[in-house]
Amino acid sequence: MSRKIFNIIIIIFIVIAIGVWAFFYFSSKQEAKKQGEDLTFREFFPFGQRESIDFPLLIDLEKTPAPTENPIDDKTEMVKEKLRKISSFPVSGATVVSKTKVKEKENENGEIIKEEKIVSVARYMEKSTGHLYEMFLDTNEEVKIANTTIPGVNEALFNSDGNSVVLRYLKYDSLNPSLVSIETFSGKIVDDEGNSIKQLRGDFLSQGIEALVLSPNKNNIFYLSSLGEEVVGLTSEVDNSNKKQIFNSQFTEWLPQWATNEKIILTTKPSAKVSGFAYGLNIKTKSFDKILDKVFGLTTLMSPDGKKILYNNSTEGGFNLNTYLTDTNEKVVVELSTLPEKCLWSSLQNNVVFCAVPKYIEAGDYPDIWYQGLFSFSDDLWKLDLETGIFTVLVNPTESLGVEIDAIKLFLDKDENNLFFINKKDQSLWTFDLN
């Protein structure tokens, strides 16, 4: 073979190689572009039944400033400041109150003046002792405010000003420990001797109270009490004065929610294998009307205006979150899978719900295995606008703090600047700054 022919062959080989490389390069670019266009949120997180979720645009890419030296660390530090663990011990309940702080300072004329500042204060009860504590959210300063000892308080419900509290705990018979009763105590925080440490003073409610909830203004209670082979429902002041019976039923397995000023929702206790029902009890007329029926694993949470109900229905190995519109009887599947017990309606923003949403859901009978403690969730906190369809992740505790949170008993302060919740994993109290 001549050298000329050999050189021609080499050149042809190089051209073919360049052509093959160019073909695969541009094909892969086109395929990547195509995949990028087709990939949706639901392919990563297959929640619900609708096709998409509209997320708010949080960053204007053209106006994004130059990154700092360590933007990830800066963001993490910001989230750490917003998400805080308040109690280092299990709590049985909590509320938030406002207090005035007075600080003395010197003005420009050298005069001492007093400066007042209203701050939010978390008030909570230690589960093991019944002692009351407060934490100032502006300084993280924790103080004990009452030391009346009541061991093993399972539930503490505070009234509107946080100075009265209803306690629920188990009492074991001293002669026969297998005999257990549920005690309900309504107490007021009082200062008997002018000490900084106060006491709880109050009275016991009747035994046999199966369930108890606060009214929307937190100054009244509704409770279900066993009476022979039936259950009766009564309303009263927090101190159990002005009692009125408004309900009775031979069916005894109810979960109540005092949803609006005039309506209490009564839902049958849930199980994945049992068809559930929900009824509305009118406090004034005592009418008892069916709202939802034949829903397996049913739990509910009505909005403050009474127009919407979040409800859960169990599925094969899981569950769905739905919204029921009371005016039109319309049922809508919510995009995210969580339980109504892990949600809270906003009182200031219509159609807005704050929810703790599990990152993953292991197959099982819900809500049974969650109630029984056989499975625990790891949640992110979300804000859901059910009218616009904008669902926003507020915080991922695992990513930001390296902790897993199974959030329950959510509540907000008056201005909805802070979201509070209890971590079911260790019963600790937490807060997230919504500003």
Last residue of a domain, one of 196, 215, 242: 242
What distance in Å separates the CA atoms of residue 119 and residue 225, rounded to the nearest whole number?
A: 39
312 and 425 part of one domain: yes
CATH number of the domain enclosing 339: 2.120.10.30
Inside any domain, residue 68: no
317 and 225 part of one domain: no
The amino acid present at 251, given as its one-letter code, is F
What distance in Å separates the CA atoms of residue 352 and residue 392, rounded to the nearest whole number?
A: 11
352 and 426 part of one domain: yes
Amino acid 52: pLDDT: 31
List, for the chain, all residue ranges whose pLDDT scores fall below the cut of 70. Answer: 1-80
C-alpha to C-alpha distances, 178 to 154, 173, 174, 175, 211, nearest whole angstrom:
18, 7, 9, 9, 22
Last residue of a domain, one of 219, 242, 265: 242
Amino acid 117: pLDDT: 86
Inside any domain, residue 266: no
C-alpha to C-alpha distances, 307 to 42, 266, 329, nearest whole angstrom:
29, 16, 10
Inside any domain, residue 255: no
What distance in Å separates the CA atoms of residue 94 and residue 431, rounded to the nearest whole number?
A: 11
219 and 306 part of one domain: no
Q: Are the beta carbons of 325 and 310 closer than 8 angstroms?
A: no
Domain hosting 98: range is: 90-104+113-242
Last residue of a domain, one of 204, 220, 242: 242
What distance in Å separates the CA atoms of residue 238 and residue 246, rounded to the nearest whole number?
A: 16
Inside any domain, residue 153: yes
Q: What is the per-residue burial (b if ≥16 Cβ within 10 Å, else e) of 379-399?
A: bbbbbbbbeeeebeebbbbee
98 and 229 part of one domain: yes
Amino acid 55: pLDDT: 30
Inside any domain, residue 77: no
Positive or negative CA dihedral for 224, 228, 229, 230? negative
Inside any domain, residue 388: yes
233 and 324 part of one domain: no
51 Cβ contact list (under 8 Å, min separation 6): 40, 42
**H-state helical runs in 354-424:** 368-371, 397-401
- Give me the torsion for CA of 96, 99, 104, 106, rounded to 10°: 80
- Burial class from Cβ neighbours inside 10 Å (0-12, 13-18, 19+) for residue 32 reads exposed
331 and 192 part of one domain: no
Amino acid 29: pLDDT: 40
Inside any domain, residue 226: yes
In the chain, what is the straight-line distance between the N-terminal and C-terminal CA atoms, in Å? 81
95 and 218 part of one domain: yes
Amino acid 262: pLDDT: 95
94 and 234 part of one domain: yes
97 and 227 part of one domain: yes
Q: Are the beta carbons of 94 and 125 closer than 8 angstroms?
A: yes
The number of distinct structural domains making up the chain is 2
Sheet holding 91-106, edge to edge: 91-106, 112-126, 132-136, 141-146
Residue 318 burial (CB count, 10 A): 15
210 and 307 part of one domain: no
Inside any domain, residue 152: yes
126 and 223 part of one domain: yes
Tell me the two tokens of residue 34: 């195509």
Q: Identify the bridge partners of residue 349 per DSSP, sorted by sequence position.
A: none
